[in-house]
Structure 1
């Protein structure tokens, strides 16, 4: 029996800056996970992933990441995604400096 489909977002790295980005419902790449389109249908996820993967001039390493929706906001369910969202850990800069 196949596993049930869990909510996902499409994530990648911005081509020029390398920042983690998320695909929004209106087809923009955003650096904020809270703006990401949460996909709950497997077929829709595959179509969106194919489209996002074809945008080579904008982002690289495109994939689906599991999320849980808490208070209407997507939150990572895996440590890797939480780590990617908060930015590099080698010193205080970028996303970490903004907080």
Structure 2
């Protein structure tokens, strides 16, 4: 399973492609379950970069853990959660359940 992530150009916030726009939580991201869906996300990311909406566009691996979408790599877990020194701040303070596919 993969999702499209980037940083919003206007403020640098980590975002994930979801339902035709960019969500601030990975739990809302559109999940690619096959190569065709992954290619579609890559095309969306390329267009968003060309339109100066986002930078640092990447397709990343995710898993569903206890009903939540969770990035696989540590770097992406940190981007999804927020500050590593205060778990009461940032996105990790209120995890979002995974959207139904």
Q: Into which bin does the TM-score normalised by the smaller protein fall?
A: 0.7 to 0.9
Larger Rg: 1
The number of residue pairs the alignment matches comes to 91
1:43 pairs with 2:36:
yes
**Partner in structure 2 of residue 84 of structure 1:** 79
1:21 pairs with 2:15:
yes
- Residue segments in structure 1 that go unaligned for 5+ positions in a row: 1-6
Q: Determine if contact 2:16/2:26 at 8 Å carries over to the other structure.
A: yes
Structure 1 residues 71 and 88, CA gap change in structure 2 (3 angstroms): closer
Normalised by the size of structure 2, how large is the TM-score? 0.76
1:28 Cα offset (Å): 1.0
Deviating beyond 3 angstroms after TM superposition, the runs of 4 or more aligned structure 1 residues are 88-92
SS of residue in 1 equivalent to 2:48: coil
